[in-house]
Every structure is written in structure tokens, then in C-alpha cells.
Structure 1
Amino acid sequence: MKSSLFKISVLIGIFSIVIYACKDKDNNEKLEETVLQGTATIYVDQTLQPIVEDQTAVFESQYNVKLNLVNQSESEVVNALLTDKTQIAVLSRKLTKEEENHFNQKKIIPKITHFASDAIVFITNKASQDTLIDLQEVLNLLQEKESKIKALVFENPNSSIVSYMNNLAGVKNGQKKNIYSLNSHKEVLEYVSNNQGSIGVIGLNLLVQPFEDTKQYTDKIAVMSVRNVKSQPNNVLYYKPNQSNLGEGLYPLKRPIYMLNYQGTAGLGMGFASFVAGDIGQRIILKSGLLPVRIPSRELNIRKEIINNK
């Protein structure tokens, strides 16, 4: 009996040593980061979260990689780059010359990849009779001039959407009359869905790929058609923010999506950028409702003869 117990104890001990050795080996043999291997952290403009998550899921399924996404406002993402919290980011703009100086001093040459285009979208309550909006009236409101628009609701004062619209209007970021900022795009959708006549401003990506907790609101809103400020006086055409109008340059609030890579080496940033700009990545964008940089090719098989089995 004692002999049997001794043998069992020895076996348990050996088994424990083997497990510990394997775990220790796994910890010591962490994958070295290369273009298609390893782990990396990417900071993402939260208005572009859905499309980046789609790309990440497919990329991770095909390669031995792990991408940790941190979704924040534009100003927070830029700050993360400038404080070296991350070396890879997805934004709707490039860094300014002043922001680039941080990397110039380190002699890091960025690799910037434009892989898709998003749009700024105006939404209103579905019960509202007017679903047309003149961009010039929006700019007038932002410039604190007389405007036919009573108010606009944005998702976040630090959002890339706020910066985009203020740049377009030629005004600085900051509090303005009849311009309101909530805490998230979910709150904007909820507010507009419950208030007839209100106008919200969000990114197209968050509308065409809504999260589960926002779908209840998207059914109660309408996307507004926008008149371009460059239109001729007699041109009263309004355009929806769809792939066709974005591709033809008819919708006026189109914005690029960039991957900014400041690793300075051949790491995962380069591999992921090549993926999203490649055939598979561009197909994911096309399917999402956004505009890819290039339309993926389609191969047609032409048969010389048609076989009739009847």
C-alpha cells in the first residue's frame, strides 16, 4: 500500500515539474515581433473603431499575431503617440508639423498608409419632415453667424469629428453657441432618436456598423442629405453619404483613414498596414460600407462552350 502511494506521489511530482517547465519555456520564448508575428498595441480613433476591429479579427486569424486595440478620442490618440505610449495609430488625419517634431528629433521616419475613406454624417429624428441640410448653414452656425440650423449635437468635444468640422469652418476648437457635446456617439443616437427636429453629427463607420447597444436607436433616425458648399446657385442637388457619392466626390464631408506607423523598424505596424491596404483588407472595407482606396478586382471566368445537360 505504501509502495503504491509512493509511486503515485512520484508520478504527481514528475507531472508537476513537466507542466512548470513547459510554462516557463512558454514565458521565456515569447515571439519576437516581426512583420507577421508577435504582439503590438494600436491606438484607434474611436469614431473608426468598427472597421479597425473587423480588420484586426481577420488579420489575427491568418497570422500568429495579437493586436491590442485602445479606442480613444483623437486628441487622446495623438497624445499617446507623442508620449510614446504607442507607436502605431489609426486616425482620420496625419500629424501636424509641430507634432511630427517629436519623431524628427528621434530620427524616426513614419510610414503612413491611407487605406480607406469615412464620412461625417448628419442625422435627425425619423419623424422629422426635413432630411436635407445645407453645409453652408452648418458652417455659419460653427462661425456663430446667422443660420437656419438651430443647434448641432456632437459626440465628444475632443472628437476628430469636432476638429474636422471646425477646421472646415475655419474656427478654433472650443465652446460655441448652440453647439453641444455629449459623452459618446451612443448618447448622440439616443438623443436624436428621442428628440424630433434635433440634428446629430457622427462618423459614417459608427452608423453603417452599429454596435449591439446602439441598434435600438439607429432604427429611429434618418441620415440627412447634404448640399455641397461648392455647388452652383442653381444646383439644388443633395447627396447621401454612400460609397458611390464618396467615390465620385459628390458628398462633401469625406475624410481619409490613415494608419500611422512610428515604429522605425520592420514590425507588426508594417505588416498590418500592408494587410489593410491589400486585397483582403480592401474587400473588408468595401463590404463595411466605407470607401476603399482601391476597388478590389473581380476575376471572371469566360467559357468558350456552354454545356447543356438537359
Structure 2
Amino acid sequence: MRHLLFGLLACVIVLGSCKENKQKETTGSLVMLVDESFMPIVEDEVIVFQNIYKTAKIDARYMNERAVINGLLSDSSSIGITSRRLTRQEAGILEKRNYKIRENRVAVDAVALIANGSSRDTTISVQEIVDILQGKPSARQLVFDNPNSSIVRYLMELANIKVLPSKGVYALQTNSEVIKYVHNNKGAIGVISYNWVRQPTVELEPLVATLKVMAVKGLPGKPGSDKYYRPNQDNLALEQYPLSRNMYIINYHGGGLGLGFSAFLAGDVGQRVILKSGLLPDSIPPREIIIRK
């Protein structure tokens, strides 16, 4: 939940205030394009970063994945957060402009499936999800965040399809809208980022508290195929949850605040914020234990 951030924030501010950093990497302003499904964790990271570096201003703009990629390629911004790396063709467009691309994985997220609190649905298999996406008859209805979202792309690649079927699938605009829709519709199964389950906005907290997070069984021979697993930090770390995905920060600016924020996300403090959020950090921050006699 979002209020859990403040305990970590207090500790971080104490550490950050011990020395003043006047380098270019921690001053100035920038526009950052962010996959909307990662909004809760990115908001937390920006809050912590700006509280440490008072002269830094990050304008995070949240949108679907396709809009993020298009924005990077059109020079709307030189930094973005997505669930995938640039393709070879996309990278080639930037490299022709003599840009050096830096892509760093900073966390592992999960694609979570949620059901109405009064629904009997508690489990679902990846095969069932694939069947629905391939247009096969099903009593279940999947509700996505946006037709151009990273989650839709991820599952379409999994199901090996080019277009969504006309039945059994419904796309809204945001993860927030999916949560509200599932809360109000008993038969719907929402497909959202686990990030939104762990850290909903204040407005959505009471709604999320009433929803069921479904356990998922993987495809035969794939991770999580032995039983049903719920999305959580342990199952992500053990690679047992079958619908995991990465979170990347892409930066093609030569230096400055974009490079500084990228380094912050990958560094100790940024990774601790991710650990506290319930997602899986790219590198687990070490814990120091003091033993007294």
C-alpha cells in the first residue's frame, strides 16, 4: 500500500541529506515516458529521488506501451520505462541519429488476474487464457487495460495471435478502469499489473481489498506447470509464477538527469523501493545484521 512508502522514505532522506550532490545527474528537469501499468512503483521512485535531490524535477507522463515507444523514437523524450527492450529495428532508428542506447532491467513484475470478491473464480490456467485469446468458446471474460498496452502485447505473443478476438475479450484504457470494472461486474476477470494490486491509489485501495487475486497454472513444461501459483515476491524470485515480465528503463541521452535517475533505479536505494513495493528487484539489496553479545 502507498502509505508503506513513507517509512522507507524517512530513512532514505536521512541518508541522502548527509551529502549534497551538485552533479548534472541529479539536477535539472526532464520528461520521462512511462508505461501506465508501472505507474504506482514509478511514482514512488520519483518521490524518493526528488526528496533526496531537491534540485531535480521529473515529469513522468503515463501512457500505453505503444505510445511510450513511439515517443522515444520521435524524440519526445530520451528516457522511458517499459516492459520490453527496443526491437532491433527500433534501436536502429535511434542509432542512425548517433544515439547510444542504454537499457537496464530494474525489476520483475507479474501479470495478475483479478476477480470480483463474490466470484467463485480463484484459479485459472495459462492454457485457458490462451484459448480465450485464440477465440475458443469460454464462459470467462477477460478485461484488459488498453488494446495498445504492454500486457495485451505480452499475452498476444504468448497466444501467438495478431489481433484480439471479438468475443471473450474486452479492452478499456487503464489499469485503474479494469479494477473498477471488475469490482462492479461479477463475471469479469481483470488482467492488470501486479504493481496495481500491491500499490493501488488511495481511491482504489478499498476496491482492491475486495477483489480476489487468482492463482495461475503454467503451460506444460513451462514455469509453474506443477500447480497453481499466486503472484508474489517469493514466486517471482523462484520463477514459479508463469506470467512474469520485466521492467526496463531505456535511456539514450548522453548524460544528465536521465542517466542519474537510471543509475538511481538500479542502485541500492532504488532497488530497496522496489523490494518494499512487493515486486522483485533486479538485484536484491543486501541486509546487514548486527550481532551483539
Smaller-chain TM-score bracket: 0.7 to 0.9
Q: Tell me, what secondary structure is at the counterpart of 2:258?
A: helix
Match of 2:261 in 1: 272
Structure 1 position 116 matched with structure 2 position 107: yes
User: AA paired with 2:195?
Assistant: N
User: AA paired with 1:136?
Assistant: Q
CA distance in 2, matches of 1:136, 1:220: 26
CA distance in 2, matches of 1:119, 1:161: 10
For 1:85, which of 76, 79, 82 is the aligned residue?
A: 76
CA distance in 1, matches of 2:23, 2:92: 26
Q: What per-residue deviation string (whole Å, max 9, x for no partner) do you get for residues 258-310 of structure 1?
A: 000011x122121111111111111100100111011111111223x3xxxxx
Q: Once the 2 structures are TM-superposed, how far is the Cα of residue 220 of structure 1 from its aligned partner? A: 2.2
Q: Once the 2 structures are TM-superposed, how far is the Cα of residue 175 of structure 1 from its aligned partner? A: 4.9
For 1:184, which of 174, 177, 188 is the aligned residue?
A: 174
Paired residues, what number? 269
CA distance in 1, matches of 2:226, 2:82: 33
Match of 1:296 in 2: 285
Q: TM-score with structure 2 length normalisation?
A: 0.87
Identity %: 42
> Unpaired runs of 5+ in structure 1?
1-31, 306-310
For 2:148, which of 158, 162, 187 is the aligned residue?
A: 158
For 2:132, which of 114, 128, 141 is the aligned residue?
A: 141
CA distance in 2, matches of 1:166, 1:223: 21
Q: Once the 2 structures are TM-superposed, how far is the Cα of residue 99 of structure 1 from its aligned partner? A: 1.4
Q: Tell me, what secondary structure is at the counterpart of 1:130?
A: coil
CA distance in 1, matches of 2:47, 2:206: 25
Larger Rg: 1
- Whether the 8 Å contact between 1:125 and 1:221 is mirrored in structure 2 is yes
CA distance in 1, matches of 2:49, 2:209: 31
User: AA paired with 2:49?
Assistant: F
Of residues 104-113 and 166-175 in structure 1, the stretch that sits farther from structure 2 once superposed is: 166-175
Q: Once the 2 structures are TM-superposed, how far is the Cα of residue 186 of structure 1 from its aligned partner? A: 2.3
CA RMSD of aligned residues (A): 1.7
Q: Tell me, what secondary structure is at the counterpart of 2:119?
A: coil
CA distance in 2, matches of 1:186, 1:123: 12
CA distance in 1, matches of 2:107, 2:166: 31
CA distance in 2, matches of 1:205, 1:72: 15
- Whether the 8 Å contact between 1:155 and 1:201 is mirrored in structure 2 is yes
Match of 2:193 in 1: 203
Match of 1:128 in 2: 119
